[in-house]
Amino acid sequence: MIENIGTACSLIGQSSNVIITGHVRPDGDAIGATLALRSYLLDLGKKATVILPNAYPDYYSWIPDIRSVVILENNQGKVMEIIKEADLLFCVDYNQLSRISALRPLVEPLKIPRIVIDHHIGPDIPCDFLYSVPSASAASELVYRFICELSGDEAVTHKIATQIMIGITTDTGGLAFSCNDPELYHIIGNLVAKGVDRNDLNIKLFHTYSLDRFKLMSHCLSKMEILADGRTALIVLTVKEQKKFRYQVGDTEGFVNMPLTIQKINRSILVREEEDGEVKVSLRSEGDNPVNTIAELFGGGGHKNASGFEAKLPLAEVIERLKRVIH
Ligand code: 5GP
Ligand code: MN
């Protein structure tokens, strides 16, 4: 049961032109969840558009309907036009408006109803309907539940099921973490029953990276260091190194999880310098070992075992500060 679902139902009922937004550097869950919601709203006869602040990784270009996504950094004019017409806003897979970066000033002033669907702790977006379950495996799982609550499982088409499965699979590392809820397996079962081919999907999701990405991964693993605490791995990647390996958007996705496969390593940090001088940091951990508290020290956030932040500081300073707080 989703509390007050009637409110969401009437907000959708009154709308005809919906915009669905996801976070910066969209991952498989942000993409899967927003596109699944779009598919559902289109089936209801609405106009619905997914807007993302920046580009999705090229290796996701096979995802059904991904070409319909309007990307702000590539198409500001089109985004403005779509936003002008919108009468309902969905915020999916993020809990703070800062997570949509350059899209924020365009979306925040809109005087249209807002629905938030998210699985991060402490949702902090003013809205008319909030569906927040921090324990959920993925925002895509919540979109599935949301659709079922509103229209029943019959409304979940093969395409919607595929988009949802992509989100759940990527956010749980192929059902390897955030995966202890028995209900999740009922959902997976329902999605497979809709004809989703998990064998095929896993190949498309995890076995179609570029050779450059593979070599970059090998480089990252070879330069990984283990910090003085003996349980934290650190990988630092400069812009120069990224150029050498012809880095493409999303190429480092997943790297941060790899050191966790080493015995006794239960915390892993990937620090990546960006072209614009910002530094992007990803943190992962295992067990009762929060890393979101570390990310928060730098103005970021996330989940207990998966968090991140961005810093407008020199790379060396970020590393030094991180080493100071890690012990
Ligand atoms: P990733 O390391 O894959 O970029 O992000 C992992 C998780 O950390 C995301 O799902 C999100 O919850 C959180 N996260 C990453 N970057 C940021 C950030 O800059 N700010 C906040 N608040 N959360 C972040
Ligand atoms: Mn996400």
- List, for residues 208-234, the tens digit of each pLDDT value: 999 999 999 999 999 999 999 999 999
Whose atoms come closest to the Cα of 272: which ligand? 1
d(CA 203, CA 206): 5
Ligand 1 pocket test, candidate residues 307, 310, 312, most atoms within 8 A of CB: 307
Q: Which residues of the chain have pLDDT under 50?
A: none
Between the CA of residue 213 and those of 44, 207, 209, 238, 244, what are the distances in Å? 40, 11, 6, 15, 11
d(CA 248, CA 257): 19
Q: How far is the CA of 39 from the centre of ligand 1 (A)?
A: 26
What is the identity of the amino acid at 288?
Answer: D
Per-residue pLDDT at 327: 78
Closest residue to atom 3 of ligand 1, CA basis? 282
Q: At what angle do helices 139-151 and 182-193 cross, to 10 degrees?
A: 70
What is the identity of the amino acid at 174?
Answer: G
- pLDDT 10s digits, 138-158: 999 999 999 999 999 999 999
- Would you say 175 and 169 are in contact if contact means Cβ atoms under 8 Å apart? yes
Q: And the tokens for 26?
A: 């969209």
Per-residue pLDDT at 151: 98
Per-residue pLDDT at 226: 97
Per-residue pLDDT at 160: 99
Q: How far is the CA of 281 from the centre of ligand 2 (A)?
A: 15
Closest residue to atom 11 of ligand 1, CA basis? 302
Q: How far is the CA of 170 from the centre of ligand 2 (A)?
A: 9
Closest residue to atom 7 of ligand 1, CA basis? 307
Whose atoms come closest to the Cα of 307: which ligand? 1
Whose atoms come closest to the Cα of 100: which ligand? 1
Q: And the tokens for 85?
A: 């017409």
Q: Which residues' Cβ are closer than 6 Å to ligand 1?
A: 27, 96, 99, 120, 282, 300-303, 306-310
Per-residue pLDDT at 60: 97
Q: How far is the CA of 41 from the centre of ligand 2 (A)?
A: 21
Per-residue pLDDT at 236: 98
Beta strands in 6-147 (DSSP E): 17-21, 47-52, 70-71, 88-92, 114-118, 129-132
Using CA atoms of 32, 309, 132, 268 in order, give the dihedral in degrees to the nearest 10.
80
Whose atoms come closest to the Cα of 32: which ligand? 2
HSE, CB side, 13 Å, CA atoms: give it for residue 29: 26
User: What's the predicted TM-score (pTM) here?
Assistant: 0.96
- Please list the residues that pair with 267 across neighbouring strands: 232, 285
Per-residue pLDDT at 294: 97
Per-residue pLDDT at 280: 98
Q: How far is the CA of 100 from the centre of ligand 2 (A)?
A: 11
Residue 153 is given by DSSP the state: G
* Atom number in ligand 1 closest to CA 95: 22
- pLDDT 10s digits, 16-62: 999 999 999 999 999 999 999 999 999 999 999 999 999 999 999 99
For residue 159, the SS3 value is: helix
Q: How far is the CA of 251 from the centre of ligand 1 (A)?
A: 16
